[in-house]
């Protein structure tokens, strides 16, 4: 089969839906530029707040690419300083780096290289092929298997080894993962989650923003939150958005999340030393490495970030975990059903081509 220069990718040689990526196609990318473009397929499988996918990849020259924040996709109410946006982009960068290791490309990434250009989150360079890293192959498979699962989890405790692996992954990325596993600790955290639910849902601006990102997973924009992610038929998403926009259902949401948090075998909080863009990039890398380890271990995870998003609850959450760090992400972890994949935009919508 002839090598491709990568433009064929945009012409539909590879599937429009990034979830259908075929790793074997990497071998047909003849140039570093084509290989970088291919690696973006894995980057966009990363999670993002409200599935906004707030990233742009700008290909430049033969072998370099910029990862840029797409702030037109920001969530000003729930994420006013683009903290979660930056974490999401860092998760995408992490997928790209691990995919490069698994497929056999040397990739160097400089994080936040230009203080005068805060949208430039990373400058990425392809430095040539190398032998694939065997350990990364397992994580590559986890990238397509990972889902945010908002269903109830089975109560069995987490395997000790998996917990240790996830903790080490977070540490290696410059973050700390703390665990709440006793019923008392989970109860204390669950109370903060339910308090966060009530505060957020009582705010019409929060509900409007959430509703604005609720849409069918088959819609033209290929982003946002489908009812399918919450166990309801995709077709009902429009009605659900209308309800969210109109009514304060904070009490019901609080009760549901309380039960989910207390019923999960473990809650895990990711924290960083500070709260700067550098910390958010570290948190995003840690998040993705933790999620891939959990997925590869056969478990799943879902977010309970309310006590981080509501400023008044953030320090109380850190105290509940006896952590001196700054909370960035709160997960519940366990074994449970997985939803269908959430929509992803096709590559042609996230890649910009500079030919200079
Ligand atoms: C930084 C960040 C914050 C998130 N916050 C929440 C959250 O508070 N509640 C939630 O249910 N999902 C949350 N998510 C999960 C996204 O909604 C999810 O990643 C997105 O819908 C795509 O689905 P997927 O993860 O199954 O691919 C968050 C994801 C990221 C990366």
Q: Identify the residue with better confidence: 85 or 355.
A: 85
Question: In angstroms, rounded to a whole number, what is the distance separating the alpha carbons of residues 34 and 120?
Answer: 21
Question: In angstroms, rounded to a whole number, what is the distance separating the alpha carbons of residues 249 and 252?
Answer: 6
Is 50 exceeded by the pLDDT of residue 16?
yes
CA distances in angstroms from 344 to 20, 42, 302, 314, 340, listed in the order given: 11, 11, 18, 31, 12
Q: Does the beta carbon of 84 sit less than 6 angstroms from any atom of ligand 1?
A: yes
Q: Does the beta carbon of 48 sit less than 6 angstroms from any atom of ligand 1?
A: yes
Q: Tell me what pLDDT residue 242 has.
A: 94
Is 60 exceeded by the pLDDT of residue 64?
yes
Indicate which atom in ligand 1 lies nearest the CA of residue 149: 26
Average pLDDT, stretch 69-79?
A: 98
β-pairing, 351-354 vs 55-60, is parallel
Is 90 exceeded by the pLDDT of residue 143?
yes
Q: Tell me what pLDDT residue 250 has.
A: 93
Is 50 exceeded by the pLDDT of residue 341?
yes
Q: Of all protein residues, whose CA lies closest to atom 3 belonging to ligand 1?
A: 49
Q: Tell me what pLDDT residue 181 has.
A: 86
Q: Does the beta carbon of 225 sit less than 6 angstroms from any atom of ligand 1?
A: yes
pLDDT in tens, 117-139: 999 999 999 999 999 999 999 99
Secondary structure of the chain as H, E, C letters: CCCECCHHHHCCCCCCCHHHCCHHHHHHECCHHHHHHHHHHHHCCCCCHHHCCCEEEEEECCCEEEEEECHHHCCCCCCCCCHHHHHHHHHHHHHHHHHHHHHCEEEEEEECCCCCCCCEEEEEEEEEECCCCHHHHHHHHHHHHCCECCCCCCCCCCCHHHHHHHHHHHHHCCCEEEEECCHHHHHHHHHHHHHHHHHHHCCHHHHHHHHHCECCCCCCCCCCECHHHHCCCHHHHHHHHHHHHHCCCHHHHHHHHHHHHHHCCEEEEEEECCCCHHHHHHHHHHHHHHHHHHHHCCCEEEECCHHHHCHHHHHHHHHHCCCCCEEEEEEEEECCCCCCCCCCCCHHHCEEEECC
Q: Tell me what pLDDT residue 354 has.
A: 86
CATH, domain 7-146+342-354, list 3.30.1380, 3.40.50, 3.40.109, 1.10.287: 3.40.109
Distance 3 CA to ligand 1 centre (A): 36
Tell which one of 48, 209, 300, 332 to mutate to probe ligand 1, the residue whose CB is within 8 A of the most ligand atoms: 48
pLDDT in tens, 33-57: 999 999 999 999 999 999 999 999 9
Q: Tell me what pLDDT residue 197 has.
A: 98
Distance 84 CA to ligand 1 centre (A): 10
The phi and psi torsions of 329 (rounded to 5 degrees) equal: -145, 140
* Residue among 355, 165, 129 at smallest CA distance from 268: 165
Average pLDDT, stretch 226-231?
A: 93
Q: Of all protein residues, whose CA lies closest to atom 4 belonging to ligand 1?
A: 49
Q: Does the beta carbon of 91 sit less than 6 angstroms from any atom of ligand 1?
A: yes
pLDDT in tens, 304-334: 999 999 999 999 999 999 999 999 999 999 9
- The domain spans of the chain are 7-146+342-354, 160-202+248-334
pTM: 0.96
Q: Does the beta carbon of 228 sit less than 6 angstroms from any atom of ligand 1?
A: no
CA distances in angstroms from 92 to 112, 121, 321, 354, listed in the order given: 15, 11, 27, 21
Average pLDDT, the chain: 95
Q: Tell me what pLDDT residue 10 has.
A: 47
Q: Which fold has domain 160-202+248-334?
A: NADH Oxidase (3.40.109)
Q: Tell me what pLDDT residue 1 has.
A: 38
Does this chain's domain 7-146+342-354 share its CATH topology with 160-202+248-334? yes
Average pLDDT, stretch 241-263?
A: 95
Q: Does the beta carbon of 51 sit less than 6 angstroms from any atom of ligand 1?
A: yes
Is 90 exceeded by the pLDDT of residue 9?
no
How far from the centroid of its chain's Cα atoms is residue 216's Cα?
20
Q: Tell me what pLDDT residue 14 has.
A: 62
Question: In angstroms, rounded to a whole number, what is the distance separating the alpha carbons of residues 76 and 98?
Answer: 30
| Cα atoms in the 13 Å half-sphere on the side-chain side of 149 | 23
Q: Tell me what pLDDT residue 135 has.
A: 93
Q: Tell me what pLDDT residue 123 has.
A: 98
């Amino acid at each position: 089969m002839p090598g491709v220069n990568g433009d064929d990718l945009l012409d539909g040689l590879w599937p429009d839906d990034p979830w259908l990526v075929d790793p074997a196609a990497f071998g047909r990318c003849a140039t570093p530029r084509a290989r970088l473009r291919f690696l973006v397929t894995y980057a966009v499988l990363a999670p993002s707040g409200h599935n906004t996918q707030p990233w742009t990849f700008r290909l430049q020259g033969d072998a370099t690419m910029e990862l840029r924040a797409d702030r037109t996709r920001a969530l000003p109410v729930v994420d006013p300083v683009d903290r979660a946006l930056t974490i999401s982009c860092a998760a995408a960068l992490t997928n790209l780096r691990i995919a490069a290791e698994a497929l056999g490309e040397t990739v160097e990434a400089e994080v936040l290289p230009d203080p005068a250009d805060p949208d430039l989150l990373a400058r990425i360079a392809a430095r040539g092929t190398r032998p694939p890293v065997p350990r990364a192959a397992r994580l590559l498979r986890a990238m397509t298997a990972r889902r945010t699962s908002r269903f109830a989890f089975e109560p069995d405790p987490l395997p000790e080894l998996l917990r240790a692996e996830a903790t080490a992954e977070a540490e290696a990325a410059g973050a700390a993962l703390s665990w709440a596993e006793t019923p008392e600790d989970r109860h204390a955290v669950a109370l903060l989650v339910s308090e966060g639910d009530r505060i957020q849902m009582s705010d019409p601006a929060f509900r409007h923003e959430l509703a604005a990102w609720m849409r069918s997973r088959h819609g033209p924009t290929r982003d946002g939150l489908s009812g399918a992610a919450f166990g309801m038929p995709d077709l009902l998403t429009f009605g659900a958005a209308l309800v969210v926009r109109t009514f304060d259902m904070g009490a019901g949401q609080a009760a549901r999340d309380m039960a989910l948090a207390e019923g999960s075998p473990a809650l895990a909080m990711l924290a960083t030393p500070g709260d700067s863009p550098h910390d958010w990039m570290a948190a995003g890398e840690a998040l993705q490495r933790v999620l891939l380890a959990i997925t590869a271990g056969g478990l799943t995870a879902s977010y309970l970030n309310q006590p981080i998003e509501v400023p008044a609850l953030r320090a109380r959450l850190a105290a509940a975990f006896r952590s001196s760090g700054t909370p960035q992400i709160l997960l519940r972890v366990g074994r449970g059903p997985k939803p269908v994949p959430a929509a992803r935009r096709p590559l042609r919508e996230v890649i910009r081509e500079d030919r200079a």
